[in-house]
Structure 1
Amino acid sequence: MKAEPEAQRRLLDLQALDTALAQLAHRRKNLPELAELAALAREISALSDERVRAQVDVDDLDRDITRIERDVDTVRMRLAKDQQRIDAGTGPARELTALQHEVVSLKRRQSDLEDSELELMEKREAAQATFEEITARRDATLAKREATELKRDQTLAEIAKEEEFKAAGRGPLAADLPADLVALYTRIRDSSGGIGAALLQGGRCGGCRLDVSGSEKARLRAAAPDEIVRCEECSRIMIRTSESGL
């Protein structure tokens, strides 16, 4: 295949644009914000689970406290009723004596219940503090995720804008080059890690970074300026200039 030396040199401009576009695509796929958002999602999920468990602990204690409060109210009402009958002094002496014993028992029961209630209220206070601490951590993580999402979106917008600019320059350039040259370049680029054409500089291929052999140099020197030459190692199109070292 043949192409004017100037067209071959402009192939490097096309390669530069394609390389830039590939780098932008790689950057989009590997944004640090994406990994950070994935980690934040896991953290938020774990904190949400912790928060549910903490809320269950608070609710369980609230139910226990309510139950004890009902028991205390029942004991107080019974105690007040018995004390009223004792104070009235009516009824057989044996019954009044039994009521006095019951009052003592009820007071002991009331004291035990109130001690249990106080203990539960202290546990409830600690459980509520745990719940609020987890909630604060989750809210802070949610805010961090929101900020990270904003940064991700801004970066993606910048990448999209740069891609649009690069693509706008690539179209006319590719259209202005020989179609068969572009087709060859594209096939090589697709099969060679994104590089289809490289500068031959100082006797070294810019694609594979290997020095060309002596016999290869002789072949390249003998090739006409408009002949498309390819690296014997990587098969990429080599662009010859005054810096090629031939």
Structure 2
Amino acid sequence: MKIALLSDVHANLRALEACLAHAAAQGAGRLAVLGDLVGYGAQPAEVVRRIRGLAGEGAIVLKGNHDEYAVAPPAQALSLDQSGAAWTHERLDKDALDFLAALPLTAAIDTALLVHASADAPERWHYVDNERRAEASLDAACLNPAVRYVFCGHVHAQTLYFRGAGQGLMRFEPTPGVPIPVPQHRRWIATVGSVGQPRDGNTRAMYALFDAARAELTFHRVAYDHLAAAADIRAAGLPAYFAERLEAGL
């Protein structure tokens, strides 16, 4: 079965729909959303509604830090991450807020552990953005000997790490659309990128497709109308900086 791994949608319905359509065309048989359904974007209610529907059809959905902020906005925003939480909260009804509040921090599919941030302390939202942090996450996940793969989001980048012949992890930068063999005799950890808020200078949405039967992982980039998504942000009265990020992919 091919599993589509989507993360960091960030209330960007246009990007979400583009990735879902692309994944379906690639033969994805199951979906997993690795958190941060909301935050930054202009369509939190629409995105939560869409993903709740997917969950009802069997999709796995995890909680991210922005989902937590939306449920209980901090009294004073201490970071950019928290700055739109109150706005998002006001646009979600009770059912949507209850759905976000009940989401788990981790889930397992066969030999894979799914988590929004790092498996060593999922509730602390550590960024898996270097070999050291990847190793801490992988080591924590592999306390369960059945785990061979860890898939996470949070860092808005697509990177694959694996344990080589030595003790440390090796980092691999994938080429979009090119399948990567990920045999089970090694252990692997991947950040699947951001559907709704890419930050590598490329405006295309990100997701990954895991083919468990073939032991292959493919990272994808998907074009969508990012300028319209930026216009949605401006029309909603959110900070212009959020729109500018979509326009530049930063």
TM-score class, shorter-chain normalisation, is under 0.3
Please, what TM-score do these two structures have when normalized by structure 2? 0.22
> Which structure shows the bigger proportion of residues in helix conformation?
1
Larger Cα Rg: Structure 1 or Structure 2?
A: 1
Please, what TM-score do these two structures have when normalized by structure 1? 0.23
